[in-house]
Amino acid sequence: MTTPRMLQFVDRQQAMPDKRAADARRRDFGEIYEGYSDTGAASQAGRCSQCGVPFCQVHCPLHNNIPDWLMLTAEGRLEEAYEVSSATNTFPEVCGRICPQDRLCEGNCVIEQSGHGTVTIGSIEKYITDTAWEKGWITPIKPMRERGESVGVIGGGPGGLAAAEQLRRRGYKVTVYDRYDRIGGLLIYGIPNFKLEKDVVLRRARWLEESGVEFALNTEVGTTISFADLRAKHDAVLIATGVYKARDLKAPGVGQENIIPAMRFLTASNRTGLGDTVDDFDSGALNAAGKNIVVIGGGDTAMDCVRTSIRQGAKSVKCLYRRDRANMPGSQREVANAEEEGVEFVWLAQPEGFTGDATVTGVRSQRMRLGRPDATGRRSPQPIDGEIDTHEADLVIMALGFDPEDLPVLWGEPELPVTRWGTVKVDHRTQMTAMPGVFAAGDIVRGASLVVWAIRDGRDAAASIHDYLKARAAAPAAAE
C-alpha cells in the first residue's frame, strides 16, 4: 500500500532541485539529517553533566574521550574537540552518522538514564568532524619517519582502512587490495546513501591516498593475485575481507527470478547513486519503483532494503520477520523510522514458499508464535498449524544475514586457521593468526558486526603489526 507520506516524499525527490530536496529530506527524515549551527552544537554539548562516571565512553567500542570533546565543543573550541575526537577514531564523521548510538554511547548517557533525554553524542561527533573538513583542519598524514617495511591490507572496508591509516602514521608503506572498483567496502556499496553520503567516504579515501596509502583496486586476492604472492611481497599482511556469503532460505519456488539477495539490491542502488550505469537497475530488475516489495529478515540490512525501496518509489513495502518486534536483531530506531515512512511489518511470519511461475508473484508465510528460549537465550519461533498468509510481491529481497566466504579454499591456503563458523581465527591479544605475520580484523574475525568495531579491530591490528615488525627487526632470526 502506498501511503500519502511515501508519495509526497517520492514526488518531491523527483521534482526538486538539490537544495530543496535536501530541505525536504531534512523535514521528512530528520533523524539522519539533523544538523547543527555552532551555537546549537555548543548548547547540546553543554548538556553533558561531566558526570565523572563516563558510561558513554566505556560503552563506545573506541573508548572515545566523549566528555572532553563535549566540553571543548560547549566552549566553542572546535579544533581542539576535533583533535581529541580523532585521536581515537579514524572515521568520526562516519561513526557519528551510522553507529547505533542508542545501543552504545547515547544509550548509556547518565542524562538519558535519568529520563532527561540523551546528549546527542553522534550528531555532535559528526558536526565536529564535518566542521574540521570544511575549515581545512584535516591534512594528509606526514609520518615522523619513513620505515622500510611494507604491509599488505586485503580489504578496503573500515577495518582495513583504519589499519592502513594507523600504519601509515607509523611510517610503513601500505597497499590496500580490494576486489571492488572503489574503496570503502560496505561503507560504499552496502550502507545506503540516505544513512551515509558517499562523498563522505570518498573524501576519506582521497585523504588516505594523499597520505601515501596505495590502493590496488579491482584486485581480488585468490584470483588476480595469490595470497602466497602477497605474503612474499609484504612484511606483514592484514586480512580484512568482511563477510559476504548471503544466507539462503530453502522453500518451494525460491529459485525464481525477482527473488534477489539484499547486497545485489543495495549495491545496484548505491552504484546508481554514485553515477554508474547499472543495466539491471535501468531495466527495472533491481529497481523497486512502482512494485510491491517484500523484504525477508529482521536485521539492519533488511531495514536498509525497506527504506531504500521506499525512496525508489515502491508501490508497497512489507517486511516479514519470524520473531516479534521485541526479539528482532535490527535497531528499534530503524524500525520506527521505516514504519513512519510507510513500511508494513509482518511480525511472526516465516516464509514457507513463493508463488509464481519463473517470475515470483507472492510470498506465502506461516504464522508463528514464540516458544521457550533456545540455547542462545532467544525465544524460538514455532509454527501455528494451518495459519498461512499470502503477500503479493513483484520483487522479493532476501536479507537473512551473511556468513564468511571459505577463505582457506578460495585462497588455496588450508593452513589459514578458521573457526567452525568460517571466521578467521586470531589470538585476540594480538589479532595475529597462527601464520606468522598474518593478522585479521573486522567482520571476517567477528562475523557480521558494526563499523565502529571494525575500526577498533583495524587500529588494534595496526598496533600489533607495528610491535611484530619492530620485534622482527630487532631479532630477525627469532621471528622466522
Ligand X SMILES: Cc1cc2nc3c(=O)[nH]c(=O)nc-3n(C[C@H](O)[C@H](O)[C@H](O)COP(=O)(O)OP(=O)(O)OC[C@H]3O[C@@H](n4cnc5c(N)ncnc54)[C@H](O)[C@@H]3O)c2cc1C
Give the residues lining the site for ligand SF4 (CB under 6 A).
60, 62, 64, 66, 89, 95-96, 99, 101, 104-105, 121-122, 125, 452
DSSP 326: G
Q: Which strands make up the sheet holding 259-261, listed edge to edge?
A: 259-261, 395-398, 292-296, 316-320, 344-346
Binds ligand X by CB under 6 A, chosen from 154, 320, 368, 416: 154
Does residue 99 bind ligand X (CB under 6 A)? yes
Task: Look at residue 158 and give the partner it binds from ligand X, ligand SF4, none, a contact being a CB closer than 5 to 8 Å depending on partner kind.
Answer: ligand X
Task: Look at residue 105 and give the partner it binds from ligand SF4, ligand X, none, a contact being a CB closer than 5 to 8 Å depending on partner kind.
Answer: ligand SF4
Distance, in Å, from the CA atom of 282 to the CA atom of 290, rounded to the nearest integer, reads 13
Distance, in Å, from the CA atom of 457 to the CA atom of 442, rounded to the nearest integer, reads 6
DSSP 220: -
Contact stretch for ligand X (CB under 6 A) within 184-192, 283-291, 362-370, 416-424: 184-192
Does residue 300 bind ligand X (CB under 6 A)? yes
Cα 66–Cα 68–Cα 69 angle in degrees, nearest 5: 70
Task: Look at residue 67 and give the partner it binds from ligand SF4, ligand X, none, a contact being a CB closer than 5 to 8 Å depending on partner kind.
Answer: none
Size of the site for ligand X (CB under 6 A): 35
| Helix %, strand %, coil % of the chain (to 5) | 45, 20, 40
Binds ligand X by CB under 6 A, chosen from 78, 186, 288, 440: 186
What is the closest distance, in whole angstroms, from the C-beta atom of residue 123 to ligand SF4 in the complex?
9
Distance, in Å, from the CA atom of 296 to the CA atom of 319, rounded to the nearest integer, reads 6
Task: Look at residue 341 and give the partner it binds from ligand SF4, ligand X, none, a contact being a CB closer than 5 to 8 Å depending on partner kind.
Answer: none
Assigned C-alpha cell, 428: 585476540
Does residue 349 bind ligand X (CB under 6 A)? no
Show the DSSP H helices in 156-278 as ranges: 158-169, 186-189, 198-210, 227-233, 262-273
Distance, in Å, from the CA atom of 159 to the CA atom of 401, rounded to the nearest integer, reads 19
Task: Look at residue 349 and give the partner it binds from ligand SF4, ligand X, none, a contact being a CB closer than 5 to 8 Å depending on partner kind.
Answer: none
Site string for ligand X, 424-463 (x = CB under 6 A): ------------------xx-----xxxx-x---------
- CA dist 236 → 89, 206, 246 (Å): 23, 24, 30
Task: Look at residue 101 and give the partner it binds from ligand X, ligand SF4, none, a contact being a CB closer than 5 to 8 Å depending on partner kind.
Answer: ligand SF4
Phi, psi of 429 (to 5 degrees): -80, -25
Does residue 222 bind ligand X (CB under 6 A)? yes
Amino acid at 303: M
Give 197 or 352: the residue with its C-beta nearer to ligand SF4: 197
Does residue 319 bind ligand X (CB under 6 A)? no
Does residue 132 bind ligand X (CB under 6 A)? no
What is the closest distance, in whole angstroms, from the C-beta atom of residue 292 to ligand X in the complex?
22
Binds ligand X by CB under 6 A, chosen from 24, 98, 314, 398: 98
Does residue 313 bind ligand X (CB under 6 A)? no
Task: Look at residue 122 and give the partner it binds from ligand X, ligand SF4, none, a contact being a CB closer than 5 to 8 Å depending on partner kind.
Answer: ligand SF4
Restricting to residues 366-425, which ones interact with ligand X according to CB under 6 A? none
Largest CA distance in the chain: 71
DSSP string, 427-469: BTTTTB-SSTTEEE-THHHHSS--HHHHHHHHHHHHHHHHHHH
What is the closest distance, in whole angstroms, from the C-beta atom of residue 61 to ligand SF4 in the complex?
6
Q: Which helix H or strand E contains 126, and what residues bound it?
A: helix 121-135
Task: Look at residue 64 and give the partner it binds from ligand X, ligand SF4, none, a contact being a CB closer than 5 to 8 Å depending on partner kind.
Answer: ligand SF4
Restricting to residues 237-256, which ones interact with ligand X according to CB under 6 A? 240-242
β-pairing verdict for 349-357 and 359-373: antiparallel
Give 182 or 364: the residue with its C-beta nearer to ligand X: 182
Does residue 92 bind ligand X (CB under 6 A)? no
Assigned C-alpha cell, 17: 532541485
Task: Look at residue 442 and give the partner it binds from ligand SF4, ligand X, none, a contact being a CB closer than 5 to 8 Å depending on partner kind.
Answer: ligand X
| Of the candidates 274, 310, 276, the residue with the CA atom closest to the CA atom of residue 397 | 310
Distance, in Å, from the CA atom of 345 to the CA atom of 1, rounded to the nearest integer, reads 12
Residues that bind ligand X (CB under 6 A): 98-99, 154-160, 177-180, 185-186, 190-191, 195, 220-222, 240-242, 266, 300-301, 304, 442-443, 449-452, 454
